[in-house]
Amino acid sequence: MKSYLVVGGSSGIGKQIAEMLYMEGHRVFATYCRNKKESKDRLSYHYLDVTSDEVDFAFLPARLDGVVYCPGSLRLRPFNRTALADYEADYRLQVVGALKVLQHVVPLMKENGRGSVVLFSSVAAGRGFPFHASVAACKGAIEGLTKALAAELAPVIRVNCVAPSLTNTPLTAGLLNSEEKLRQHSGRHPLQRVGEAQDIAAAAMFLLGDHAGWVTAQTMHVDGGLSAIALP
């Protein structure tokens, strides 16, 4: 049995990952921020707001096998109509929050003798979409961080990230709340559908686990083909 931390394990992709790790028999420390979740034996939920100055990691054990960092935001607005304070808030949540968590848990994985980190990028970091300036800037930073940390922490800790395209979670509810929107977004993807939390969680599970033992510093594109295929 291994021990994992899932930051943002109360919703969408993170919730799916926490449940899959639990189903595989692991000890899972998951966090929530606004939506409290009840704990069950090996899957415990703990309050954590990564944007607060004082973050309490006292619930964590002395050793960890892996960590997944899920908090993200999706502010789709014209570049000039986005306030600097909003860019800063997005960066604080998605990048500074990840740094804060990793500074605390990297020593716990070193203590363990090995570890795996999974971060989240987006298809919008590698391909340009209008109105995506904030998320693209944050996720580009995450992809750079993935490579730099993978270099610094090898060979003990592997660091990878997953770059999804539009996936059906509470984060994207407003983009997928009608048949017409769902049809339009599905049609933009070569595989003709949007993602489900399970599609993305499956990639994270691979990267966390031993089958990915020779994989580090990678961005795994799980996006229905959107990043690499031009539709006719």
Ligand X SMILES: NC(=O)c1ccc[n+]([C@@H]2O[C@H](COP(=O)([O-])OP(=O)(O)OC[C@H]3O[C@@H](n4cnc5c(N)ncnc54)[C@H](OP(=O)(O)O)[C@@H]3O)[C@@H](O)[C@H]2O)c1
Give me the residues that bind ligand X (CB under 6 A), please.
Answer: 8-14, 31-35, 48-51, 70-72, 93, 120, 122, 164, 166-167, 169-172
Min separation Cβ 111 and ligand X, Å: 24
Min separation Cβ 9 and ligand X, Å: 6
Nearer to ligand X, 153 or 203 (CB): 203
- DSSP code, position 94: I
Min separation Cβ 144 and ligand X, Å: 15
- What angle separates helix 133-153 from helix 97-112, to the nearest 10 degrees? 20
Tokens of 168: 């059906």
Nearer to ligand X, 70 or 106 (CB): 70
Nearer to ligand X, 153 or 166 (CB): 166
Min separation Cβ 37 and ligand X, Å: 7
Min separation Cβ 231 and ligand X, Å: 19
Tokens of 34: 């606004």
- The separation between the first and the last C-alpha atoms of the chain, rounded to the nearest angstrom, is 48
Nearer to ligand X, 35 or 39 (CB): 35
Q: Which long-range contacts (CB under 8 A, 24 or more apart) does 141-146 make?
A: 141/91, 141/94, 141/95, 142/94, 142/95, 142/98, 143/219, 145/95, 145/98, 145/99, 145/119, 146/119, 146/121, 146/217, 146/218, 146/219
Min separation Cβ 151 and ligand X, Å: 22
Nearer to ligand X, 8 or 126 (CB): 8
**C-alpha closest to that of 158 among 94, 218, 71:** 218
What span, in angstroms and rounded, lies between the C-alpha atoms of 85 and 145? Answer: 22
What span, in angstroms and rounded, lies between the C-alpha atoms of 225 and 20? Answer: 24
Nearer to ligand X, 76 or 217 (CB): 76
Question: Cα 217 to chain center, whole Å?
Answer: 15
